Chain A
Amino acid sequence: MLASLVGFLGDFDLAEEAVQEAFAVAAERWPREGVPANPGAWLTVTARNRAIDRIRRERTLGDKTRRLELPEATMDELDETVIEDERLELIFTCCHPALALEAQVALTLRALGGLTTEEIARAFLVSEETMKRRLSRAKTKIKATGIPFAVPAEHLLPDRLNAVLAVVYLIYNEGYSGRIDLAGEAIRLGRLLAELMPDEPEVHGLLALVQIHHARRKARFSGDELVLLEDQDRSLWDFQEIATGREALERALALRGRGLNVLQAAIASLQAEERIDWNEVAALYEQLAQITRSPVVELNRAVAVAEAGSAEQALEIVDALELDDYQYLHSTRGELLRRLGRPHEAREAFERALALARSGPERRFLAGRIAEL
């Protein structure tokens, strides 16, 4: 409803106020006159008409009336089909790269997740006042800079869709820290995107990725400590949700998706198997590394290669990486050298990792490894 009004009015604040007014009118009228046959459409049309009234009252602005030259909608033409679904346009507006990332996230949750400003503030551990300002600055910027309310043109779409997916993933990732169920919110957004853009493999890939991760949430922590995948108690996994995630992955693959999200979802899916096919995991990491050019992805590939049975080859990959300040490079190297029967070098690598490690459990783990050598 908000989406169709923002689209119609080209103004975020005005749309929000109009929606609130429409609900107020409904609260007053429905108990007296009965609930209309199509409450959603009634609210939308009422909100729309309220907004038009308001603009006419304030009519100083040639720009805003530009879109309002159409006749006022009447209750007669009220039919679901009259009201365009413009949620997709709204998503692309909220996730426009000209907005700061934190503003994109907040706007998306406000406009599409339907969270209140107070809930978003709580989720990101800032005051409601701060969040209100953040949202209002973003809305002002949309208006002042002419950020379009539209699905981007074909040649811009891949980049802009990536921006949208990055926001949803970020929302998912934040889901572990706060008290609000952002992870669930991210999955709802992923489903909405999959429904609105059914032919985009990366959308299904992202949905699959977050669902498969989410299915393992109960096993990820033991108290406050992070539990590695291999040590997780599988009876805590939600296999129904893993299956749902895999269905989304199947759709992505059927659409010939081989992008970032699809590859990561495929890896997550393989890693949720009883027996993990590490050769396949390594091959997928290789494809992922070709896209991202990220040394961290290469490091993951090395781990998969080692698990598949070739510690030597894995060590070659690791030694070619420029990631000297990265703790996990050194801990992985130590582990590989230990397996290859080179304890002195292994100890050096673990000591280097220990010097970089910050968290207590990781330090204890590394100290234990060094003591064993």
Chain B
Amino acid sequence: MKYAMLIHEKPGYVGALPEDEQKAVYAEYMALAEDPRARGGAQLQPVETARTVRVQDGETLTTDGPCAGTKEVLGGYYVFEADNLDDAIELAARIPAARLDGAIEVRPLVER
């Protein structure tokens, strides 16, 4: 099954770390991206760059900023092919943001 790992993070959390730890964290992200089970993923530009689009009565409305006004913001995502939910959760727990005040939302993809 494919699982999306949506990385909800505190803005600027990596920059707040000492330089050598920043490097270590980036290395962890790279390692996860290169895991044989990885099927994709991306880091997103900072949340200030977000524009939110809605269509109401056929009219496109756009607003500045992200969809939901929570403390954490969506900072990136992975897609992993994992055997089951337990394996997916173990992968998610390895994403650094999970232990650095962030949270990882694990969501199975709809298979077609």
Residues of A within 8 A of B (CB): 63, 96, 98, 144-148, 150, 152-153, 156
| Count of A-B contacts judged by CB separation below 8 Å | 26
Contact between chains at B84 and A147 (CB < 8 Å): yes
Q: Let me know if A146 and B85 touch, CB within 8 A.
A: yes
Q: What residues of B have a CB within 8 angstroms of the CB of A152 in the complex?
A: 86
Task: Determine if A144 and B108 form an interchain contact, defined as CB atoms under 8 angstroms apart.
Answer: yes
Task: Contact check, B111 vs A146: say whether CB atoms are below 8 A apart.
Answer: no
List CB contacts (< 8 Å) of B82-112 with chain A: 82-88, 108, 111
Residues of B within 8 A of A144 (CB): 108
- State whether B111 touches A147 (Cβ < 8 A): no
**How far is the CB of A64 from the nearest CB of chain B, in Å?**
11
Interface check B1, CB cutoff 8 A: yes
Enumerate 15 A-B pairs (CB-CB under 8 Å) in ascending A order: A63-B111, A96-B85, A98-B85, A145-B85, A146-B3, A146-B84, A146-B85, A146-B108, A147-B84, A148-B84, A148-B86, A150-B86, A152-B86, A153-B86, A156-B86
A160 closest partner in B (C-beta)? B86
C-alpha spacing A63/B83, complex, angstroms: 12
On B, residues with C-beta under 8 Å from A are 1, 3, 82-88, 108, 111
Contact residues in A for B82 (Cβ distance below 8 Å): 146
Is B111's CB under 8 angstroms from A148's CB? no
Q: Is the CB of A145 within 8 A of B108?
A: yes
- Cβ of A145 to closest chain B Cβ, rounded Å: 5
**Across the interface, which residues of B come within 8 angstroms of A146, CB to CB?**
1, 3, 82-85, 88, 108
**With contacts A96-B85, A146-B83, A147-B85 known, what are 7 further pairs, Cβ within 8 A?**
A98-B85, A144-B108, A145-B85, A146-B1, A146-B3, A146-B88, A148-B83
Q: Please give the distance in Å from B10's CB to the nearest CB on chain A.
A: 25
Inter-chain contacts of B85 with A (CB < 8 A): 96, 98, 145-148
Which chain B positions have C-beta within 8 A of A148? 83-87
In the complex, the chain A residue whose C-beta lies closest to that of B87 is A148
Residues from chain A with a CB closer than 8 A to the CB of B1 are 146
Of A96, A144, A150, most buried by chain B (CB within 10 Å of CB) is A144
Chain B residue with the shortest CB-CB distance to A92: B86
A152 to B90, CA, bound (A): 12
Instruction: Tell which of A98, A145, A147, A156 has the most Cβ of chain B within 10 Å.
Output: A145
Looking at B3, B84, B85, B87, the one whose CB has the most chain A CB atoms below 10 A away is: B85
